[in-house]
């Protein structure tokens, strides 16, 4: 039986603010048959859920497209809800019924933001960390049948109607390049409004717009005034019957939130609460008239990424008393978010909390790695029974919370950690026979959760939390396994392109909070265009295309991709060797000089290697977009840079000029080594590992690729050995030290319990978690097919090794769930796999013995270019084979 499910518009379920002129629809199929391929489909769009008022029907369309099929009807009206449904037929003659309807709402007219930005007259507001409260009473003649609020802010806001919170987004409107883009959010508020008097209210905090940013203590980076802009629209059918835009008729005041800063925490005095302030009948005569703040409304654009929201709640697992006598709650997991608590006491009593990721070697509360971030909560009781509190406009990276003050007996059950991050559905599950690897997967996932906070941040705890491009570039391959990340990266890449310099250079961080202030940091020169960092402009769009097959996004980002490669060409010697400018290089590699962050691999080598890599990816992007002339140009450029790399950095006998692990890794993975010398370079890489007791010394640029370099060049055994090492330095060393996220430094905490540094030592920093891409693709055996992006085709090729006896991986792709489970008993391997309808797989067996396939469940294996492989359609299959006794694994 054929069914259609999981309908989406522009990658999202039931999205508000769709801006595409021709929105695209996606759906998944389920069937109890094998080898199911969609042969026909039909889409209907209407303005009512019963589809009486149809605006478009595709008719019966021949084809297998079920991902991003475009609308082609008449122009859609702005600010309107449309319903859509899908019907499909397959190659077996089965016909589905109509799917359950879904819907999307179009955005406001482009450039149509007309509401004023309103704030409060606050002396020296640039230096004020106190949020402002705004309210406006209005009257409706009837209870509405259709009402929307559109809202945004200079700062971060919470919106209320008649005393109730509107929506559940946190930190709206999020962090964008406010100089070019400020997102607005859309809320269905029909159920919150009543006939008669109503009140709209908001609290606006400093946020990223005017609060303190970076370790340099910059304030008011984008502006000095917090402000709200909102528009309430009530409709009868398609006609607007009530329209209320923010203006000077709003009233303004300060309230119980005395202080709120992202890095430093929040101070709240419950004695100052204005009960009923967002409800009708409240006396606001003591409030002042709101003031108009200037902001170019042309920058206001619809929300185009997922909301930040509360995701999970974790209880305290332990109450500790440290050697210093500190009372510390342990939540068992390093996380991003805040603590919610309940308390009883008299008016004026306080609850004071501090947050930390780790305890020091003696077991004491440790906050030195937070640098200037105070990460402190102070709540002053009003003294009326049980009071509950959670912060509004701050977040922390922590596992441990010191309770500095708390009235009465301290009960751990009164405290709950609330996990907060961008809302992205988890798409991958992984487990294997090695518990330490399972914990590493857990740590990689939680590192991503903690740093997917509207932008891909580097860390969530200290005075930084910036969208470092290098971290995003190395991790996107792993992130897009772990979660449905397409809209998250779409939003961030639009900001990256908007921040790109006129010469094609890319800032170190996006949004760019460092240009103009970086000169105050002696360790870093300039504020843009480091190799491996700026390459996010090319690597991230291409990876997103491989995983989600969104040609429109690739086309949108292509000018940015091209401008970055041309920036490198303009700054490279003879357009080929990039040996100019400042580079982070192989950042925080263990082969760095004592006290230095900069790894030993020469910058001109890493920069030229990445230049070749990006040029070739750009050529692939041009090919995917049908730009044949550009494809030829950049393919030729990539090959020329690779040739120049060989001439400059590889001797005629195949020896690399730089004897570092990262130099060998990049040369191998980026296909810069002549085929005749690959074995020599691989041997040299293994020798470098042996010189370090089998350990890696790589940093940010080498680590993501080191296991891949070994496995792709005949040394799968050494890739497994490296991954499974448990002593320092290694991934599993961190696990055995009790880590629940990935660390910034291999030696963040040394074997003797001492810390690497107080200056830059995050214990939740996802970059080294980029090894996840190799784990899921090699051990898990599940990789995208580069010839059929978006998992329309998948490569299923587990490579057992390292003494592992089984692994199971499941990935929810654009076509549905893909699963692969293998078990190994000495030389015998049993595989079970499942492929969703309308998708297919290339099943490749790892180093099989001759004539080894003993059970194929109908799959026909053949020798394909030295590999034993079969093509599988949808369905579930079982395969048994034997591994060659000579296999290294």
Enzyme catalytic residues: 464, 744
- As a whole number of angstroms, the distance between CA 822 and CA 540 comes to 31
Centroid of chain to Cα 855: 41
∠ CA 192-195-198, nearest 5°, is 60
For the chain, the first-to-last Cα distance in angstroms comes to 42
DSSP letters, 213-259, are: BTTTTB--SS-S--EEEEEEEEEETTEEEEEEE--TTSEEEE-SEEE
CA dist list (Å): 459 to 300, 332, 453, 825: 28, 18, 10, 41
DSSP state string for 559-603:
HHHHHHHHHHHHHSBTTTB---S----SBT-TTSPTT-SB-SS-H
Distance, in Å, from the CA atom of 368 to the CA atom of 234, rounded to the nearest integer, reads: 52
DSSP per-residue letters across 87-149: EEEETTS-B--PPPPEEEEBPPPTT---PPEEE---TTGGG----EEEEEEEEESS--SSEEE
Closest to 706 (Cα-Cα) out of 801, 652, 774: 774
* CA-based nearest residue to 604, from 538, 678, 671, 657: 657
DSSP state string for 423-484: ---B-EEEEES-HHHHHHHHHHHHHHHHHEESEE-S-SSSS----BHHHHHHHHHHHHHHB-
Contact 590, 697 (CB under 8 A): yes
CB distance 131 to 203 below 8 Å: yes
Rounded CA separation 766/478 (Å): 10
Instruction: Please say whether the beta carbons of 256 and 139 come within 8 A.
Output: no
* Residues 6+ positions from 679 with CB-CB distance below 8 Å: 713, 714
- Angle, nearest 10°, between helix axes 603-624 and 628-649? 160
Local structure of 685: helix, strand or coil: helix
Beta strands in 797-859 (DSSP E): 806-813, 816-825, 828-835, 840-845
Phi, psi of 769 (to 5 degrees): -70, -5
What's the per-residue H, E or C state across 355-408? EECEECCCCCEECHHHCCCCCEEEEECCCCCCEEECCCCCCEEEEEEEEEECCC
List the beta bridge partners of residue 185.
Answer: 151
Is the peptide bond prior to 729 cis by the omega test (within 30 degrees of 0)?
yes
Give the other-Cβ count within 10 Å of 325's Cβ.
7
Q: Sign of the CA dihedral 375, 376, 379, 380?
A: negative
Output the CA angle 817-809-431, nearest 5 degrees. 140
Contact at 8 Å (CB) between 282 and 276?
Answer: yes
Full 3-state SS string of 82-104: EEEEEEEEECCCCECCCCCCEEE
Reduced to 3 states (helix: H, G, I; strand: E, B; else coil), residue 493 is: helix
Asked whether 377 and 346 are in contact (CB, 8 A), the reply is no
* CA distance to 457, 561, 567, 702, per residue, from 466 (Å): 5, 22, 24, 22
Cα–Cα distance measured from residue 833 to residue 879, given in angstroms and rounded to the nearest whole number = 8
> What does the block give as tokens for 763?
């214990």
């Amino acid at each position: 039986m054929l069914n259609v499910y999981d309908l989406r518009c522009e990658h999202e379920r039931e999205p508000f603010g769709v801006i595409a002129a021709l929105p695209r629809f996606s759906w998944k199929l389920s069937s109890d048959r094998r080898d199911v391929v969609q042969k026909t489909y039909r889409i209907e769009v209407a303005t009512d859920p019963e589809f009486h008022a149809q605006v478009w029907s595709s008719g019966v369309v021949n084809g297998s497209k079920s991902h991003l099929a475009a609308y082609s009807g008449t122009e859609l009206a702005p600010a309107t809800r449309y319903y859509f449904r899908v019907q499909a037929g397959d190659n077996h003659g089965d016909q589905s019924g109509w799917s359950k309807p879904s819907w999307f709402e179009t955005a406001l007219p482009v450039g149509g933001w007309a509401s004023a930005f309103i704030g409060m007259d606050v002396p020296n507001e640039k230096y004020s960390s106190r949020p402002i409260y705004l309210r406006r009473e209005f009257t409706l003649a009837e209870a509405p049948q259709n009402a929307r609020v559109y809202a945004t802010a200079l700062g971060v806001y919470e919106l209320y109607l008649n005393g109730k919170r509107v929506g559940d987004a946190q930190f709206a409107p999020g962090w964008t390049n406010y100089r070019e883009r400020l997102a607005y959010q859309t809320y269905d508020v029909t159920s919150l409004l009543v006939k008669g008097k109503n009140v709209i209210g908001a609290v606006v905090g400093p946020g990223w717009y005017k609060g303190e940013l970076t370790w340099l203590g910059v304030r008011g980076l984008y502006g000095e005034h917090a402000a709200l802009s909102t528009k309430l629209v009530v409709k009868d059918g398609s006609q607007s019957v009530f329209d209320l835009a923010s203006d000077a008729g709003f009233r303004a005041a300060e309230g119980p939130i005395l202080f709120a800063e992202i890095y430093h925490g929040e101070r709240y005095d419950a004695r100052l609460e204005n009960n009923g302030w967002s409800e009708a009948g409240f006396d606001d005569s003591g409030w002042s008239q709101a003031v108009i703040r200037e902001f170019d409304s042309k920058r206001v654009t619809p929300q185009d990424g997922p909301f930040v929201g509360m995701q999970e709640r974790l209880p305290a697992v332990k109450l500790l008393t440290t050697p210093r006598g500190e009372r510390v709650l342990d939540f068992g997991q390093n996380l991003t978010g805040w603590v919610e608590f309940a308390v009883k006491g008299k008016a004026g009593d306080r609850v004071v909390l501090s947050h930390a990721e780790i305890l020091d070697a003696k077991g004491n509360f440790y906050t030195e790695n937070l640098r200037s971030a105070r990460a402190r909560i102070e709540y002053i009781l009003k003294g009326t029974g049980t009071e509950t509190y959670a912060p509004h406009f701050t977040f922390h990276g922590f596992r441990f919370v010191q309770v500095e003050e708390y009235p009465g007996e301290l009960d751990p059950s009164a405290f709950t950690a609330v996990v907060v991050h961008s809302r992205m559905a988890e798409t991958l599950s992984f487990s294997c026979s090695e518990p330490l690897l399972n914990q590493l997967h857990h740590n990689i996932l939680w590192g991503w959760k903690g740093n997917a906070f509207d932008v891909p941040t580097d860390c969530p705890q200290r005075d930084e939390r910036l969208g470092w491009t290098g971290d995003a570039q190395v991790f996107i391959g792993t992130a897009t396994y772990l979660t449905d990340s397409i809209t998250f990266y779409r939003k961030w890449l639009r900001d990256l392109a908007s921040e790109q310099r006129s010469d094609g250079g890319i800032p170190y961080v996006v949004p760019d909070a460092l240009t103009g202030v970086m000169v105050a940091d002696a360790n870093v020169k300039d504020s843009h265009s480091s190799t491996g960092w700026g390459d996010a402009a090319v690597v991230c769009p291409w990876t997103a295309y491989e995983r989600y097959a969104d040609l429109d996004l690739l086309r949108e980002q292509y000018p940015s991709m091209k401008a970055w490669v041309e920036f490198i060409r303009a700054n490279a010697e003879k357009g080929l060797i990039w040996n100019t400018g400042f580079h982070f290089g192989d950042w925080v590699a263990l082969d760095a000089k004592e006290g230095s962050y900069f790894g030993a691999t020469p910058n001109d080598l890493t920069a030229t290697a990445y230049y070749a890599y990006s040029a070739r990816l750009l050529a692939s992007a041009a090919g995917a977009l049908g730009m044949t002339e550009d494809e030829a140009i950049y393919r030729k450029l990539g090959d020329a840079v690779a040739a120049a790399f060989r001439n400059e950095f590889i001797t005629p006998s195949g020896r690399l000029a730089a004897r570092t692990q990262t130099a060998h890794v990049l040369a191998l993975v980026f296909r810069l080594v002549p085929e005749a010398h690959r074995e020599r370079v691989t041997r040299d890489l293994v020798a470098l590992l042996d010189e370090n007791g089998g350990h890696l010394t790589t940093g940010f640029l080498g680590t993501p690729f080191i296991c891949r370099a070994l496995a792709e060049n005949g040394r799968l055994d050494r890739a497994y050995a490296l991954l499974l090492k448990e002593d320092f330095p290694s991934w599993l060393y961190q696990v055995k030290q009790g880590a629940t996220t990935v660390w910034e430094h291999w030696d963040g905490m040394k074997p003797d319990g001492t810390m690497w540094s107080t200056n830059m030592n995050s214990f939740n920093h996802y970059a080294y978690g980029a090894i996840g891409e190799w784990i899921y693709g090699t051990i898990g055996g599940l990789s995208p097919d580069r010839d059929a992006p978006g998992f329309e085709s998948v490569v299923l090729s587990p490579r057992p090794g390292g003494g592992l006896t089984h692994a199971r991986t499941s990935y929810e792709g654009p076509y549905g769930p893909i699963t692969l489970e293998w078990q190994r008993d000495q030389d015998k391997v049993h595989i079970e796999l499942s492929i969703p309808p309308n998708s297919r797989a290339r099943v490749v067996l790892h180093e099989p013995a001759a004539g080894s396939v003993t059970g194929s469940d109908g799959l026909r294996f053949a020798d394909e270019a030295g590999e034993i492989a079969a093509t599988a359609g949808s369905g579930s299959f079982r395969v048994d084979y034997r591994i060659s006794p000579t296999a290294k694994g």
